[in-house]
Structure 1
């Protein structure tokens, strides 16, 4: 595990540097917001487009892979939701906690880190995991919260979900990249170089932005946050590993990438959703803070295992 830890440490050191800059106010919340916007709309989108444009759909999509990941996620999602219901909190809060248990920071941490550590062949499986997280589970939490607040499901929510996906640059960049790949044409060299140059900023920019954003988060409701971090860092990769390796017999390398992606800490976009709907944002904030700190060891352990 130690060699892998040495390889992952630089990534988490960048997060730590961002955390320090945010903590001492060298990087203000406004600066963090603009850096995040640059990474989200430009650098990461360029990286995702370049990956997708140089891959075929068959290299990204696999029904067996999708079913294995969805099944593993669903088991942990239902467990976290069931525990929340036993504590007699609202359904909306339960949905937010369940989201914390299965949605990892695949976009800002997983894509840059796993492709470097696991090789270029990890790009396709990572994009698949990211797509499922963004399309399936972001839709599920929106549907649950809307239904519980309005007491019914309305057709208008479908339009809201569709517009949300169309406005998400990660989804758009992957779709456009696959569309280009489908033409069978190579990406022109100057365009490919431009995307590579811009996409190279995604890794340091995203990791620094993660750290700077964590500096403003507090660790309230620590017991609940610790439970959700345990679900995300331990139970989620275990459930996904069982489904991928035992139930669905996913090809070994792709399964390893899926398990590594499942081991990532709670994603920042869960906090954005929680804050948007006004449902337990402090709980999510604490879960992100704790899971990110602990993941230095747990992610390294999982990557060491899947690469053994």
Structure 2
């Protein structure tokens, strides 16, 4: 357990450094926003393109893996929604809590950390999870809130969602990489070096940006936030572990799936909460709590599933 903890510690140390820099005002809030933008549009996109360009569609898409992750994650999402409604929350608030229960920080934390810790075999499963989260669940929450507020789903609500998906740089970079791979185009050495150099900035940049963004979040509504953090760090990985077994997913991709599900609540859930003006305080606190606790829970999950 100690050895596994020491493997993951540098990643969380970078998050802590970003938090300390922003909390002390040495790194201003606008700096965190611009660093996040650099990582999102350039460094992480270069990393994802290079990863995808080395895959084929068969390596990325595994029907059993997709069904296992969708089923386990969907069940956790429904649990979050139902429990929110039973507590008297409106549909948008309950849906936002459901999102907290199963959307992990796969892009900024999962892609850099899991590929480094587990090796290149983890690239396909991690990219598949990232794609499902963005295409399925991020679309779902947006449509539900629009429908709840406008009394039904209208075309004018759907079109901005589709535009957002099409213009997402992570989706675009993965799609471009897969097209490159499918066309069996050679990767010129200067281009590969460029992508490697730019993509290498993704891991430290993303982790530092996570920490810097956490410094601006607030701890409030702790009861609800603790439940959401527990659902994300415990219920979600447990659910996908069960569905991975039921759907017969191979040991290694199942382990990647469980570890990805054990990631803390993603920062983009807070962006959605701010955009819609829904449950910002509890989402903010859930991100803070789950990120802090995951320093211990991620190594524990790695040890339990034998991926140390």
Which category describes the TM-score, using the shorter chain as reference length? Answer: over 0.9
Structure 2 CA distance for aligned equivalents of residues 114 and 63 of structure 1 = 21
Structure 1 CA distance for aligned equivalents of residues 81 and 141 of structure 2 = 12
TM-score (norm 1): 0.98
Please state if 1:70 is matched with 2:65: no
User: Counterpart of 1:168?
Assistant: 168
User: Counterpart of 2:27?
Assistant: 27
User: Counterpart of 1:214?
Assistant: 214
Deviation track 1:15-51 (CA, whole Å, cap 9, x = no partner) reads 0000000110011110000000000000000000000
User: Counterpart of 1:199?
Assistant: 199
**What aligned pairs does 1:1-308 form with structure 2 within 5 A after superposition?**
1-245=1-245, 247-306=246-305, 307=307
Deviation track 1:190-235 (CA, whole Å, cap 9, x = no partner) reads 1111000000000000000000000111110001000000000000
Structure 1 residue matching 2:278: 3-state secondary structure: coil
Structure 2 CA distance for aligned equivalents of residues 92 and 133 of structure 1 = 18
Aligned residues: 307
Q: CA deviation at 1:157?
A: 2.6
Structure 2 CA distance for aligned equivalents of residues 127 and 284 of structure 1 = 25
Unpaired runs of 5+ residues, structure 1, are: none
Higher alpha-carbon deviation: 95-104 or 147-156: 147-156
Unpaired runs of 5+ residues, structure 2, are: none
Q: CA deviation at 1:167?
A: 1.5
Structure 2 residue matching 1:58: 3-state secondary structure: helix
Q: CA deviation at 1:179?
A: 0.5
Q: CA RMSD in A?
A: 0.8
Structure 2 residue matching 1:219: 3-state secondary structure: coil
Structure 1 CA distance for aligned equivalents of residues 26 and 106 of structure 2 = 27
Structure 2 CA distance for aligned equivalents of residues 80 and 74 of structure 1 = 10
